[in-house]
Amino acid sequence: MEKWEIGAFQKKVLAHFRTHGRVLPWRETRDPYRILLSEIMLQQTQVERVRSYYTRFLKAFPTIQKLAAAPLRDVLVLWQGLGYNRRAKYLHEAAIALSKNKAGFPKDAAALRALPGVGPYTASAVAAFAYGAPEILIETNIRTAYLHHFFAERKDVSDTEILPLIEQTLYKKDPRIWYYALMDYGAHLKSILPNPSRRSVHHKKQAAFKGSNRELRGAILKHLALQKSLSKADLFKKLLPLKRSRAETGAVLEALSKEGLVRVSKDSLALAS
């Protein structure tokens, strides 16, 4: 790519950010704990849904130490409604690991990847947003920006084609601001165009929530969050509006138990403590 092309792309993205950049609470901090929390919450979840949960969560658990010391049940109760509850358990486990780390919060993406539930993107994002590391990041909005500008006439574009462009165009003076700008620009493009991400080979349409195991999992955890324990019979009654069989409910309960989110005893069910 020519230097003028790199410069023109950077100029366009940064100009949009200066005028239309989103003000988000996790962008006002460089605290790696708060950034890790936001990145985990934002996985497969819309920004506007995350805002209020992020604020409430930090009020309850303002530090890694507070989160690590809390019972898992308290964390799961606060997470209710956000979905994908395994994220809460992984975050709690990460907090416990970090609270025991005498070296402090890792600054290196490779070290961050060793934490429970932290994948390559999340580790690189924390390194970039907390420490300004020139990591190479790709997520749905970043992907959208590159698909729109560099692959306008293509379908089935792979991330392996996009990643070299991200590296070439990285605004190394401030990777943190650059990625915020890219994300906001990509989100803007999605709002005014047919989603460019559909031209990615990695694009997947999310299955319907209603009638899914995600709906059933969420309902079970919600009811268990409202009471310290429930009998299986009482839980089945509460789940009747979902019109799911006992076999389906039993299978989901077994999965939740194996994941360490629910305690199943002979006579009762409860959130993991």
Active-site pick, 2, 39, 93, 167: 39
Bridge partners for 262 per DSSP: 271
Q: Is 39 noted as a catalytic residue in this protein?
A: yes
Active-site residue list: 39
